[in-house]
Amino acid sequence: MGLDSDKRIQSPSRFRDSVPPTPVVLRLRRYPFFPPQAPRPALTYRSALISRLEFLERGIRTSVEERKIFQFHEANRRTSLERITQ
């Protein structure tokens, strides 16, 4: 009985190895849980400014994140200009 149980355990692995893996199986082997998210591009002041200007031209409102970065850098620019002129 011990030999039969060993054969039963080994047979699925033999079958699995004999069947060529499909692209789905390969994908599942690579990402066992879920595919990794694409890294989000870093939002710099320049990219925020460019997209802000493009959106303003098209009449589209920018995202809250972009607006915050834009306002933060605008405030810094104003304070640095005020320091220079004083």
Q: What is the pLDDT of residues 60-86, one digit of tens each?
A: 665 676 677 777 878 888 887 777 776
What global pTM score does this model have? Answer: 0.27
Rounded distance between C-alpha atoms, residue 68 and residue 45, angstroms: 10
Q: What residue segments make up the domains of the chain, in order of their start?
A: 45-85
Tell me the per-residue pLDDT of 11-40, one tens digit each, with 9 for 90 and over.
555 655 565 656 555 555 555 555 556 555
Which residues touch 27 (CB under 8 Å, ≥6 apart)? 35
